[in-house]
Structure 1
Amino acid sequence: MEENRKDEVNIGIVKISDEVVSVIAGIAAGEIKGIVGMNAGVTGGITQIFTGKKSTSKGVKVNVEEESASIDIIVAVEYGVKIPEVISQVQENVKRAVESMTGLKVSAINVFVQNIIVQKPNLKNEEKEA
């Protein structure tokens, strides 16, 4: 009788595409303070120029297998942050988000720091001082 209940609940197959996982990972990585952006590379940058759309999955490559996923993320960090701490937070947040939303086990999260961005001083504060 227990098997019948399982069949009634399981009425089909659920497959999660790589793109969905990459969007989740991109949003989760962007939530961490110190991450300024993610790099899409040359082709992603050209696509963004022509379409005018920002992709939340840019700079994220996902390889989804049967029950697990490995994720590569290319990021730019803010100047002055402790990079190992920020990257560790990115890995934890991405793992938590992907596993809770998709049910996949995250086998690896590789984060590549490709750029450091120096934030420009706030112009309004400079005008007040002058």
Structure 2
Amino acid sequence: LSSAVVWACSLNCVDWHLLSPAPESLFESAANLQGRFQGDPSYEYQGEVDDEPKKKWERRDVKIKEEIRLAVVVAIIDEEVAVAPRGAFIKTPTGQVIKNRSFEGICNFTSLGLQFYLVLYNSIISTSLNRELIF
């Protein structure tokens, strides 16, 4: 089994389809697009790609489907934030965040409330935690 994350998307909340991973070549262009999603996976946005970063004046236009743009946004969110139950991690006196070895989980009642969870941002995830510890 691979450890790759797989996401699903739906147009009607009944039929679900796997969201294909975004190609690395379009990642930056799709991430720079602004505006709302249209709700149609086949909708094409106009984007620009730098062939060589040193030559800013040499850009080429590229069409990016909404499905690819959605995959890029989901990948960015997945990379930058995570959610963990309160008490799962502790902060040491040196400021490092580590896994709480005595944490045994939360009960069913407390698992229903959002106040019992923390959002971990990229700075905490990348510097102090190994991402596999969270999930």
Specify which structure has the higher proportion of helix. Answer: 1
For the aligned pair, the TM-score class normalised by the smaller chain equals under 0.3
Instruction: State the TM-score, normalizing by the size of structure 2.
Output: 0.22
Q: Does 1 or 2 have the higher relative contact order (CA < 8 Å, sep 6+)? A: 1
